[in-house]
């Protein structure tokens, strides 16, 4: 699949910068997105769900205890313009 098509579909690729605008306002901001790899998501994945969830890590937090959000729905994030 071409990079252009990826962007047209709005797919999030691992390592992409995304903006979180979901249900936790205090966590709204920019994160690095990876596919969520917790038990629940891996199981859902193996059942063929199309509802992909993401693990978000705050790239601007300290290395000690970075803020992470797991099992984030696709509709709660938008690819950041910073990728362009």
Report the residue number, 41 or 56, with the smaller CB distance to Zn ion. Answer: 41
> For 61-73, b where at least 16 C-beta lie within 10 A, e where not — what string?
eeeeeeebbeebe
Please state the closest distance from residue 73 (CB atom) to Zn ion, in A. 10
Report the residue number, 7 or 51, with the smaller CB distance to Zn ion. Answer: 51
Binding site for Zn ion (CB under 5 A): 36, 38, 41, 53, 70-71
Please state the closest distance from residue 6 (CB atom) to Zn ion, in A. 22
- What value, to the nearest 5°, has the Cα angle with vertex 24 and ends 18 and 66? 60
């Amino acid at each position: 699949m071409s990079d252009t098509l990826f962007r047209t579909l709005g797919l999030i690729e691992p390592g992409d910068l995304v903006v979180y605008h979901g249900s936790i306002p205090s966590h709204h901001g920019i994160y690095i997105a990876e596919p969520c790899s917790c038990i629940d998501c891996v199981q859902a994945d193996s059942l063929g769900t199309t509802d992909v969830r993401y693990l978000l890590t705050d790239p601007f937090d300290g290395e000690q205890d970075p803020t992470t959000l797991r099992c984030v729905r696709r509709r709660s994030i938008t690819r950041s313009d910073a990728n362009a």
